[in-house]
Amino acid sequence: MNRIFHDYLDKFVIVYLDDILIFSRTVEEHVAHLDKVLSLLRQHKFKINGEKCEFGRTRILYLGHEISAERLKPDDAKVASIRDWPRPQSVTKMRSFLGMTGYYRTFDKNYSIVAAPLTDLTNLDTPWEWTDKCEAAFRHMKHALTHYAVLKLPDPDKPFVVTTDASQYGIGAVLAQQQGPKLRPVEYMSKKMSSHKLAKSTYEKELYAVYKALTHWRHYLLGRFFILTTDHQTLRWMRTQPVLSDALKRWIEVIEQYDFDPQYLKGEYNKVADALSRRPDFSGALITEFDLTDDVTRSLVEAYHEDQFMSEIIRRCKEHEYGRNTEIQNAKSH
């Protein structure tokens, strides 16, 4: 199916196995899209079951979600299933519970952090022991996923706002957009900190949170301007570091690919709302915001040349540039 609808995927068609979802802005546009899809199916000798089809709907259930033009939320039947889920009595049953709740983790701001005591129970080297922390996590997850935040569908014509945070247990991030006078969440992301990352400084963990958020939402953010609300002290700290670890260099290299306006957020959301009025073609590059010292810049350059993959790219670029210069000189001489 993906091969057949390749030219239309994510433009007005979504395909999952043999389920086809067609979305449009207007009725007229929807009729045209439907005609293209049915024509392709007919062309490739596919038949549809009319009893399983729905046409012209403004709200649908799809892959466990209720989708409309304004919002995205879990299917009520799935929410009820989570609400009534009995306390797991074994690793197998715990994995089933985590599988169900994990599918809806985008609706829970701190899913990975809250679920940590339960995910630890599924480790092979961890004995099964239901503690007070496990009970609290189990109850909290059931409550959070049955009292969820309704997510806003992303609008490609509006800039995004990314808010990140790091704690001693993990990292969390929110992708949001302006809707009326308020910011509405588009998606939540969280990640439990591994043991070696827990030992890092607060600044490193905050930078890691930014790195993970940007890579997680790369398909939304790369190539477009957005607002990043985080602790500015992290960027200030970056400017004072004469030597960077290999991990920090990798994170900075990824972050530099994005075009955003970093803003210090200390519980005051009005600054974010004001920033949204800026032009979406704002071109403030991160490397300018960092204002890296010569030592840090030199360290990054050395890391590029030492990396096996990047050094090969640099070598080929130099060869290509040398070849172009030679051609230009030969042309001038003639």
**pLDDT tens-digit readout, 33-69:** 999 999 999 999 988 888 888 888 888 888 888 888 7
Residues 6+ away with beta carbon under 8 Å from 259: 223, 224, 225, 226, 282, 283, 284, 285, 286
164 Rama class: left (phi>0) / alpha (psi -120 to 50) / beta: beta
- Residue 35 has what pLDDT? 93
> Looking up tokens 């799935």, which residue turns up?
78
Q: Which two tokens stand for residue 190?
A: 């969280």
Please say if the pLDDT value at position 279 is more than 60: no
Lowest mean pLDDT among 154-158, 171-175, 329-333: 329-333
- Residue 50 has what pLDDT? 85
- Residue 100 has what pLDDT? 92
Question: Where residue 289 falls among pLDDT bands split at 50, 70, 90?
Answer: very low
Percent of the chain clearing pLDDT 70 (strictly above):
78
- Residue 298 has what pLDDT? 61
pTM, 2 dp:
0.57
Q: How many CB atoms lie within 10 A of CB 76?
A: 10
Name the residue among 175, 167, 215, 218 with its Cα closest to residue 193. 167
**pLDDT tens-digit readout, 209-246:** 899 999 999 999 999 999 998 865 776 676 677 777 88
**pLDDT tens-digit readout, 92-150:** 999 999 999 999 888 887 788 889 999 999 998 889 999 999 999 999 999 888 887 77
The CA-based angle 266-267-269, given to 5 degrees, is 105
Mean pLDDT across the chain, nearest whole number?
Answer: 79
- Residue 211 has what pLDDT? 92
Exposure class string for 6-35: b at 16+ Cβ within 10 A, else e: eebeeebbbbeeeebebbeeeeeebeebee
- Residue 191 has what pLDDT? 85
Percent of the chain clearing pLDDT 90 (strictly above):
26
Q: How many CB atoms lie within 10 A of CB 152?
A: 20
- Residue 272 has what pLDDT? 37
Of the two residues 316 and 22, the one the predictor is more confident about is 22
Exposure class string for 243-275: b at 16+ Cβ within 10 A, else e: ebeeebbebbeebeebbbbbbebeeeeeebeeb
Lowest mean pLDDT among 29-43, 271-285, 319-333: 271-285
